[in-house]
Structure 1
Amino acid sequence: MIVYDTRFNSNEWFILGGLVLGFTVIYFLPKRFSKKHAVVYFMCGVFSGFFFDHSLSVEPRSFYDVNDTSKYEFMDFLSYFSYGSISYLFFYFYDRLYIHTSAGIAVYVLGWSLLSVGIEWLAVLVGVFHYQLGYKLAYSFPIYLIVQTCWVAFFCRYRKISEA
């Protein structure tokens, strides 16, 4: 087990600040979705974060550690809810902006992927992520592109099913 830090400091504050900010923004935005749909859109981020963190940061090839140690901790669990706020906002603004052209979708996904890399860069600076085995921030960009493209496809399909 690798220990990066033993104190409550910037990485924990970053996660807690992200949670408070995300939940506050969601709370004050005008409601666009039913509670059921809002939970589904929120959970897309929680699931995606959990899936990729546990695919890329587990032995035998752990490309990064999350937070203070290489062991799973409570703050790691809390961080997934920050991903939930981000996914909810992704779906919210996608629906609000009424994007339907291929070019519009590409620009939207590209913009959100760049924003996601920016947020991850900040998380690296404060010690939320610790890259290893040659992993670089740039490797996350295609993952965000794929995940957020899948979110758009899911949103379109889920809306059609819900309206039927």
Structure 2
Amino acid sequence: MIVYDTRFNANEWFVIVGLCVGVVLTVVFPKRFSRQVAAVFFMCGVYSGFFFDHSLSVEPVSFYDVNDVSKFQMMDFISYWMYGAVSYFFFYIYDRLQPKASYIPLYILVWSLACMGAEWIAVLCGVYHYSHGYKFIYCFPIYLLVQSAWMALYYTFKRKGFV
């Protein structure tokens, strides 16, 4: 087990503030979706974060660790909920703007870059610790892939009349 930090400091504050701001904004913004659809859109971020963190940060080759130590802790679990607001607002803003289909790649690109910016701040705060040759830039195609899947989900829900 690798210990990066033993104090309550920037990485915990980043997660707590990110989670609180995201949840408050999710609750305060005008409702655009039914509760069920909003919950699915929120859980897309939670699930995506959990899936990729546990795919890339587990043995035999752990490409990065989250927060203070290399083993799973409660703050790691809390950090997954922080991603929920990101996915919710990905869907919310897209639904609000209703851009032409030709702008979907640009929308995904902008969101992927924004997520890279947020991740860079998280790295500076000590939330992520990369290892075994893994680099920050490797996250970019993951964001592109995840948000493309989210867009496919949005249009599936739209075809079914849920949105």
Q: Is the TM value for this pair above 0.5?
A: yes
Shorter-chain TM-score bucket reads over 0.9
Partner of 2:23: 23
Counterpart AA for 2:70: S
Shift of 1:162: 3.5
**TM-score normalized by the length of structure 2:** 0.97
Partner of 1:99: 99
Runs of 4+ in 1 over 6 A off after TM superposition: none
Unaligned runs of 5+ in 2: none
For residue 61 of structure 1, give the secondary structure of its aligned residue in structure 2.
Answer: coil
Shift of 1:159: 2.1
Q: Distance in 2 between matches of 1:56 and 1:125?
A: 20
Partner of 2:51: 51
Shift of 1:100: 3.4
Partner of 1:5: 5
Partner of 1:113: 112
How large is the Cα RMSD of the aligned pairs?
Answer: 1.2
Percent identity over the alignment?
59
**TM-score normalized by the length of structure 1:** 0.97
Shift of 1:26: 1.1
Q: Distance in 1 between matches of 2:128 and 2:92?
A: 27
Shift of 1:99: 2.3
Q: Distance in 1 between matches of 2:153 and 2:100?
A: 14
Partner of 1:144: 143
Q: Distance in 1 between matches of 2:53 and 2:113?
A: 19
Counterpart AA for 1:74: M
Counterpart AA for 1:120: E
